[in-house]
Amino acid sequence: MYRKEIKVLDCTIRDGGLMNKWQFSKEMVKSVYDGCVAAGVDYMEIGYKSSENQFSRDEYGAWKFCDENEIREIVGENKTHTKISVLADIGRIDYDDIAPKSESVVDMVRVACYDHQIDKAIHLAEHCIDKGYETTINLMAVSTTIEHTLEEVLNDVAKCRVPTFYLVDSFGSMYSEQIQYFMNKYKTALPGKTIGIHAHNNMQLAFANTIEGIIQGANMIDCTMLGLGRGAGNCPTELLLSFLKNPKFNLRPIFEVLEKHLLPLQEEIRWGYYLPYMITGMMNEHPKSGMKLVESDHRNEVLKFFDAVIDGKVLE
């Protein structure tokens, strides 16, 4: 599907880092960046912008923090068409951690929040606008947000200066009918704003739901190479680019990164279709309990896990 307004954001390093605490080699991060540039990807999200007052570098890799000097080691001055994005979680960043755009090669700061944090998300995002950045607000876990709360969120977003608002299927629990419902709700409430979509793959529907989002008018589209991301992962970059009929995209550089880095990484990190992730998706629950099981020696005890999830015993 060709539509010139569609922008693709590859968040392989940012979302994928949730599986290994962002302990990626500089070589891999540089390869992903070079692959995005050569493939014609519009944005690369290189990691989280988090406060070092809250997280230790002894535990977390560089891309949990996205220090300016470390980003520049990868992208230089980034004189390319591929823009650089970072994501900030509400409550995990200090405003002083965000330098003015004139001092940074970062182009966009995306702000992630839950429904009860929307006022703080708007404030942080508008703070980033004032510093010169492109911004989005990514409302997480919308599948758990009750109707009147969502309407209040959308009313607040409609009145703010943030130009892009994301439909995020955090738990990979949605079907196409829900994507259509939320897209229509977002478009009606937010005329003039761009809608983005970020899908997880617990029910093996991230690509299909992304396509549905595009059909319904989403123009900021998230993906990761080989679907690398938290738990079941995300809409794969290679599938998305093969679907979009824009001649600017080139798949070959993506396959080069897959062969050199992502396929070997599959031998070390368990992401993708695992039954515990499917079960948490089916139950519209955070995948953390599934992730704990998959990383344990009991990963094949799926019947016991299924029964426990159904009984609400392992959801924390």
What pLDDT does 313 receive? 76
Q: What is the mean pLDDT of residues 6-17?
A: 98
CA-nearest of 270, 205, 274, 275 to 235 is: 205
Q: What is the mean pLDDT of residues 223-245?
A: 97
**Which tokens belong to 154?**
């959308």
Helical H segments across 59-175, by residue range: 68-75, 118-130, 147-159
pLDDT digits (tens, 9 = 90+) for 230-240: 999 999 999 99
Contact (CB, 8 A) for 53 and 266: no
* Residues composing the chain: 316
Q: What is the mean pLDDT of residues 8-34?
A: 98
Q: Which domains does the chain have, with CATH numbers?
A: 7-265 (3.20.20.70), 275-310 (no CATH)
What pLDDT does 96 receive? 93
Task: Give the Cα-Cα-Cα angle 294, 309, 16 (nearest 5 degrees).
Answer: 35
What pLDDT does 2 receive? 81
